[in-house]
């Protein structure tokens, strides 16, 4: 292990970059089956057409995601989370990721409002689960479970399990957040297979991937502040973390 570097990122000799995405970098570690995920300050929207660096976002997202994974694990939902590392990183289990985005919606917003012509903010009578193919070049098209099976991305059983797990995640997160004054409007999950082939929640649970509205005022405390130029993105993310931490103290 080498020394601590200028901005706090601790580099390990055995580490190699496996993948760099829009908001995270994934490194192999010296430990078999364990990865390090570093959360970046970079943000993109509209399939990469809009880009910015949001100071402090990486650190805030690492901690928000860590707290969410801990809450989910406490309710028996398997996640890749193993622990915190230096301020913008976490240790995770290595998974074979399934290239499908699983979106859960409690309230109409974003692309659903446009697709179905319903007003944003309309409560759904039950949570809706949708699947999207992870493919930037195609703009992440909407697919169903049989597409995933037919394209060899996941088995029918895995898709059923992904849907069931996503709904359990919703059941855990909705009351947890509401007690902290946050309404969970919708969110995106990604699943992978662990070494034994079991389905595990990977990726992140952050204001980049969830819509959080202030329960009292409806103020948006998530990435829509960036997508829609509402200002003070960092302040909104900091407010989400403050509420999650305050409740723990």
The residue with its CB nearest to ligand UDP is 110
Name the one range near ligand UDP by CB under 6 A: 59-67, 78-86, 159-167, 207-215. Answer: 207-215
Of 65-73, 78-86, 101-109, 237-245: span binding ligand UDP (CB under 6 A): 101-109
Q: Which of 56, 99, 110, 127 binds ligand UDP (CB under 6 A)?
A: 110
Residue (103 or 173) nearer to ligand UDP, CB: 103
Residues 220-249 touching ligand UDP, rule: CB under 6 A, are 223
Decide if residue 187 touches ligand UDP (CB under 6 A).
Answer: yes
Look at residues 233, 206, 182, 177 and name the one whose alpha carbon lies nearest to residue 56.
233
Instruction: Report how far apart, in Å, the C-alpha atoms of 162 and of each of 60, 118, 156, 212, 213 are.
Output: 27, 27, 10, 22, 25
Q: Among 67, 90, 103, 162, which residue interacts with ligand UDP (rule: CB under 6 A)?
A: 103
- Is the CA virtual torsion 67, 202, 187, 125 positive or negative? negative
| 2-61: contacts with ligand UDP (CB under 6 A) | none
- Tokens matching residue 90: 């976490």
Among 209, 220, 236, 237, binds ligand UDP (CB under 6 A): 209
* Residues of this chain that bind ligand UDP (CB under 6 A): 101, 103, 109-112, 140, 186-188, 209-211, 223
């Amino acid at each position: 292990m080498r020394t601590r570097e200028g901005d706090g990122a601790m580099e390990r000799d055995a580490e190699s970059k496996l993948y760099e995405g829009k908001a995270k970098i994934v490194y192999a570690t010296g430990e078999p089956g364990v990865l390090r995920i570093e959360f970046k300050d970079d943000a993109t929207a509209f399939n990469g057409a809009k880009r910015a660096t949001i100071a402090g976002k990486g650190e805030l997202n690492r901690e928000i995601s860590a707290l969410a994974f801990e809450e989910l694990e406490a309710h028996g939902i398997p996640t890749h989370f193993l622990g915190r590392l230096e301020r913008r990183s976490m240790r995770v289990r290595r998974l074979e990721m399934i290239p499908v985005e699983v979106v859960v919606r409690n309230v109409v917003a974003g692309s659903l409002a446009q697709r179905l012509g319903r007003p944003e903010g309309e409560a759904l009578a039950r949570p809706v689960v949708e699947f999207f193919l992870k493919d930037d070049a195609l703009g992440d098209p909407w697919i169903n479970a049989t597409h995933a099976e037919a394209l060899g991305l996941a088995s029918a059983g895995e898709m059923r399990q992904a849907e069931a797990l996503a709904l359990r995640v919703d059941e855990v997160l909705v009351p947890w957040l509401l007690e902290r004054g946050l309404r969970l409007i919708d969110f995106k999950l990604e699943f992978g297979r662990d070494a034994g082939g079991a389905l595990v929640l990977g990726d992140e649970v952050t204001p980049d991937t969830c819509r959080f509205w202030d329960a009292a005022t409806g103020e948006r405390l998530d990435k829509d502040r960036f997508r829609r130029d509402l200002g003070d993105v960092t302040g909104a993310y900091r407010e989400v973390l403050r509420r999650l931490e305050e409740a723990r103290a």
